[in-house]
Copies of this chain bind each other. A is one copy, B any other.
Amino acid sequence: MQSLGCDVAALNTVQFSNHTGYGQWTGSRVSAQEITDLFQGLKQSYLDDFDMMLSGYVPGAEALEAVGRIAQELKTKAKKKPGSFFWVLDPVMGDNGNLYVAQDVVPVYKSLISHADLILPNQFEAELLSEVSIVDMPSLGRAIQVMHERYCIPHIIITSVSLAGGDDPSAPPPSSLCVVGSTMTSARRARAFKIVFPAIDCYFSGTGDMFAALTVVRMREAVWNTPGGDLVRTEAWRSADGVDALELPLAKAAEKVLASMHEVLTKTCLAMEEGLRRRRGEGVNGDDKTARLLKSKAAELKLVRHVDSLRNPKVEFRAVKV
C-alpha cells in the first residue's frame, strides 16, 4: 500500500515471529482491550481521519468484535459525507474446507458484514457466509446473490475460485483459476464478472493479504478515475444501476490487482528453486522438517524486489461477464 502512495497506519492484531504457514511460531496476539485502547489513542490525538480501512486476520471473536466496533465508529462519523469512508473486510476464516480461526469467529463475521463496503472471501469463506455449496458457476452466482441480499454488502470479490469442472462448460479450464466479483444494484441484484488467469503450481502464503492490500489501493484509484466525479461522493462507491458489470470500478481494480499478483507470483516461483539451491549450498539441509521450513521461506512473496510489478503491472487478464 505504501509503495502505491498510501499513508498507512497499521494496527497489528498479532506479533508473530513468522506466518503460521511454517507450522511453528512464537509471539503473541493482541487482546481485544488493546485493540480498543489503540484506537482510543488515535482518536484523542485526532489521528483517526482515515478514508479507508482494511481488516484482515483477527484470531479471536472478541478481538474481531473490537475491530468491528472501530470500523462502525469510523462509518458513523463519515455518515455526513457519503463516500468519505470505505471498509474493505477480508473475512479470514479458512481455506479449502478447513477453518483456521475459532468456531465462534464465524457468527461475528456474519454480524459485521452488513457494515462493510467490500468483502473478499475465498471460495470456502463464501460458502460459510452464504450457506451455499459452491460447485459450479451457477452455484457461485447464487452464493454472491445471497450475500448481496442477506448482508446488503455492496461489493464482493471471491478470490481464487477453483471448480472441479468436469462436464460443466461454464467452469474454468483445468490449470486455471478465477476470481469472481460483483457490485450490487439498488435492488441488491448482482452484477458479476470473472477474471480467469493461469494457476501457478507453487504453494504460497500471504496471497490473500496481498490481494486485499492491492484491492484497497486499486479500488480507490478506479473510483477516483470514474468520469463525472460523483462516485467518490456516493455512499459505498456503488455505481448507478445503468453501469455494466465490466464497467464497474471493482472490475477495473480486480484486473490490475490480478496483473500484479500474477507477475509477483511468477517471479517468486522462479526465484524459489534458486533460493532453495543457495540454502543447500550453505550447508543447511537435513530432515523433512528442515526441508519443509526452507521451502516455506523460499516461497515467501518477493514483494520488495518486484515493486514495479505492484506499481505498473501489465494487465493481461481481462474481466468478462458472468
Contacts and interface: CB of A to CB of B under 8 A. Distances in A.
Contacts of A8: 304
A38 B17 contact: yes
Interface in A20-61: 22, 24-28, 30, 34, 37-42, 44-47
B22 A45 contact: yes
A5 interface: yes
Nearest to A28: B34
Interface residues of A, number: 39
A104 interface: no
A16 B44 CA distance: 13
A117 B250 CA distance: 50
A135 to B, nearest CB: 37
Give how many copies assemble into the complex: 2
A17 B30 CA distance: 13
A15 B38 contact: yes
A27 B38 contact: yes
Nearest to A2: B304
Given A2-B304, A24-B41, A26-B37, A46 B12 contact: no
Nearest to A279: B46
Contacts of A304: 2, 5-8
Among A28, A34, A47, max chain B CB count under 10 A is at: A47
B15 A46 contact: no
A294 interface: yes
Contacts of A202: none
Among A17, A27, A34, max chain B CB count under 10 A is at: A17
A5 to B, nearest CB: 6
Contact of A297 (B26, B37, B46, B293): B46
Interface string A160-198: 000000000000000000000000000000000000000
A3 interface: yes
Contacts of A45: 17-18, 22, 24-25, 293, 296-297
Contacts of A290: 46
Contact of A41 (B2, B7, B25): B25
Contacts of A26: 37-38, 40-41, 44
A102 interface: no
A193 to B, nearest CB: 31
Given A3-B3, A15-B15, 8 more contacts: A5-B305, A15-B38, A17-B37, A17-B41, A18-B47, A27-B34, A27-B38, A45-B297
The 3 A-B pairs at the shortest CB distance, nearest first, are namely: A17-B41, A26-B41, A26-B37
21 contacts: A2-B3, A2-B304, A3-B307, A6-B304, A7-B304, A7-B305, A15-B34, A16-B38, A17-B38, A17-B39, A17-B42, A17-B45, A18-B45, A22-B45, A25-B41, A26-B37, A26-B44, A45-B293, A45-B296, A45-B297, A46-B284
